[in-house]
Amino acid sequence: MAQICEYKFETREALFAYLLADVIRALSTAIDSRGQASMLLSGGTSPGPLYRMMSDQTLDWDKVWFGLSDERWVPADHPDSNENLVRTTLLTGKAALANFIGLKSPSDDIIAGHDITDQRLRAFLRPFDLVLLGMGLDGHTASLFPDSADTAAALDQDNKKLCHPIRRGVGEIPRMTMTRNALLGSHGIKLLIFGPEKWQVYQQAKATKSDEQPVSHLLHQTQTPLSIYWAP
């Protein structure tokens, strides 16, 4: 079992204030010790307030490198793009000077674009200083979905790639996800979850490692510490 710290808050506002301080402290410490900092960001609606708060902070942003835990295989300016979310909420204001490496390569085909993206990611300073993740009610995290046949390869401990394509059902947009090994190649993972239902899913994943709940693979390891941030 991973070293896990659980932080529970009465409000989301209190959670974001505490998480903001944790993130800025970690990035600042990394800059002081390594000369630069690197962080993987989560998509979705949950972290938006955090990103907007981060953009107003004073930091040597030109020494910070951001990437994504996962991405839909759509153009960077697409409304469903996680890169678009980050650029419009975080990479503005003071944080506009930060560096960013996206997961979407120019190729329209996700399989053809896989190696291009993986090579691009090699430019990152690793281990990552921070990885911010969310979690779905199905136990997925990043784009490690239990209903995709590609997830097993992305979770494989022998997979040395930093990212892996994820294809799902008909009508679902393919995604690129960071692999298990890439996510664990960090100084710490922060898992952001809201509501009693997700807390229950997290408890189940913490109790049992299962491919049915991919997030459990990050909880049942001893390589990288995790912090859980929860609010109603």
Each residue's pLDDT, cut to its tens digit, for the chain (232 residues) gives 889 999 999 999 999 999 999 999 999 999 999 999 999 999 988 999 999 999 999 999 999 999 999 999 999 999 999 999 999 999 999 999 999 999 999 999 999 999 999 999 999 999 999 999 999 999 999 999 999 999 999 999 999 999 999 999 888 999 999 999 999 999 999 999 999 999 999 999 999 999 999 999 999 999 999 999 999 9
Give pLDDT, residue 2. Answer: 81
Give pLDDT, residue 1. Answer: 83
Range of the domain at 129: 4-231
- Tokens 């892996």 correspond to what residue? 164
- The 10 Å Cβ neighbour count of residue 87 is 18
Give pLDDT, residue 116. Answer: 95
Give pLDDT, residue 141. Answer: 98
Give pLDDT, residue 170. Answer: 83
Output the domain CATH number for residue 191.
Answer: 3.40.50.1360
Number of domains in the chain: 1
Strands ordered across the beta sheet of 163-166: 70-72, 175-178, 163-166
- Distance of alpha carbon 120 from alpha carbon 165, whole angstroms: 15
- Contact of 73 with 104, CB cutoff 8 Å: yes
Enter the DSSP assignment of 212. T
Give pLDDT, residue 136. Answer: 97
